[in-house]
Structure 1
């Protein structure tokens, strides 16, 4: 049974590994994945500045979401689902958690810089295109920027 709960700082290495495994699902090569490693690594600063929620399947890390709140705006920094759980509703549950947390904190909009392969998922959740953002890992690459009104 999947449960959502706050992540613990000692889970940072497992969360970082989940982000890498989930990103690699889209078929990126080793060089690309290596370039993304720093951006996908969860560390103490992430716990200090953001809320991190995990989807737990009886002790197995099924997914995670990282939400940063900034007054009337929120940023969904990360949402990753382990490939074994894709299609099981984990992404939707984590997205719903992030939107609810942001709304409850007073945010009116939540923004997402999405992997191009994940943008369709966010659009299905109600997000709309809002331009592009530069990749934090790959110089010259841009990512779809999406937003959802809360």
Structure 2
């Protein structure tokens, strides 16, 4: 598996992957439709959000975005194709994003986690520091997590 910067022409593919990945948690169609705009990447977002893809055999299996400006930013999006979940891809993407963040001078990243992904982020070393309102579903709260970056 290779990790590489995403290309602007992959924005639609990545948006679709985000929705497919979100659907892994058995959310219904109405819920996913409400999330569509928030999970949509546009070509001009790709570079600005420091988007990285995981690719295997020419197929994109996951991606992350690293948002903000040092010293504090966010792991904005992290999605893995449902068929690739459980193969260590999420760990590789997360570790790559954290290494990139360190190189860029970030000291702290926040993560607005899907409740189903909170255990994964906790296993990676992120700590829940509160909650944040969903950008898609009125009244829904998401775990707000923090990952502190320390020099290696």
TM-score by length of 2: 0.95
Q: Is 1:18 aligned to residue 17 of structure 2?
A: yes
Match of 1:66 in 2: 65
Aligned residue pairs total: 149
Match of 1:135 in 2: 134
Partner of 1:80: 79
In 2, distance between residues paired with 1:125 and 1:117?
A: 14
| RMSD (Å), alpha carbons | 0.9
Q: Deviations over 1:50-107 (max 9, x none)?
A: 1000000111111000111322112000000001100111101110111111111111
CA contact (8 A) 1:69 1:107 kept: no
The unaligned stretches of length 5 or more in structure 1 are: none
Distance 1:142 1:4 in 2: 31
- Name the counterpart of 1:121: 120
Take 1:59 and 1:46, find their aligned partners in 2: how far apart are those partners? Answer: 22
Q: Pairwise mapping of residues 20-59 of structure 1 onto structure 2 (< 5 A)?
A: 20-59=19-58
TM, length-normalised to structure 1: 0.96
Counterparts in 2 of 1:92 and 1:82: CA distance versus 1, 3 Å: same
**Comparing 43-52 and 132-141, the one that deviates more:** 43-52
Aligned mates of 2:20, 2:146 — CA distance in 1: 25
Are 2:8 and 2:44, in contact at CA under 8 Å, matched by a contact in 1? no
Query: Which residue pairs with 1:7 in the alignment?
Result: 6
Moved over 4 A (4+): none
Residues 11 and 46 of structure 2 are in contact (CA less than 8 Å); yes or no, is this contact kept in structure 1? no
